[in-house]
Amino acid sequence: MTKRIKNRPPQALAHVVTGLIAKRREVAGQIEDLQRRLKIAVAEIDHVESTIRIFEPDIDLSEFGARPVPPPHTAFKGELSRILIDALKATDVPLNTRQLTEIVMKDRGMRVDDLRARRIMQQRFGASLNNWKRVKKILKSSPGPGDMLNWEIDRNRIAAARGRDE
């Protein structure tokens, strides 16, 4: 149920105002969640400091600063490449960069509907795929939808490399 704003009926609210109200509610919810998480973190650090003081009662913990938080969506070394290559190995048809981005984001438990994150991840994956094409020479690309490329494993090159090893 929409509340009346300045004695206007609900149908008179502009779409912009309605959207801004929804955004405000979203941000307020995030603030409440952050406050809850902050209380939990403060309690946890108190417990850790109390435990440290059991072993070192005279320690000055102020000289031990906070460890920097890693940037969002940080992956372990090789994690993204492994997911991308496994996805390409599992199919016989080329996949475009957008499809591969969605596969990786789902695999890592990320929200696919977050357009900003998807755009950033798509750029990262494009760079990774280009590296696998140029340097490692196991991928090949072809023009895909829009400005995207279709990617696939270069099975001929892999088979030729296996033949040389035997």
> For residue 111, what are its two tokens?
């929200």
The DSSP output letter for 136 is S
Query: What confidence score (pLDDT) does residue 71 get?
Result: 66
The whole-number pLDDT of residue 51 equals: 95
Cβ–Cβ < 8 Å for 95, 150: yes
CA-to-CA separations, 147 to 18, 96, 151, 152, in angstroms, rounded: 35, 10, 13, 17
Average pLDDT for consecutive 10-residue bins of the chain (166 residues)? 56 76 92 94 94 93 81 72 86 90 87 88 86 85 86 81 61
| Ordered DSSP codes for 51-106 | HHHHH-TT--GGGS-PPPPPPTT---TTHHHHHHHHHHHT-SS-EEHHHHHHHHHH
Predicted confidence at residue 81, as pLDDT, reads 82
Which pLDDT does position 57 carry in this prediction? 92
What the chain holds in terms of domains, given with CATH numbers, is 1-67 (no CATH), 79-165 (1.10.10)
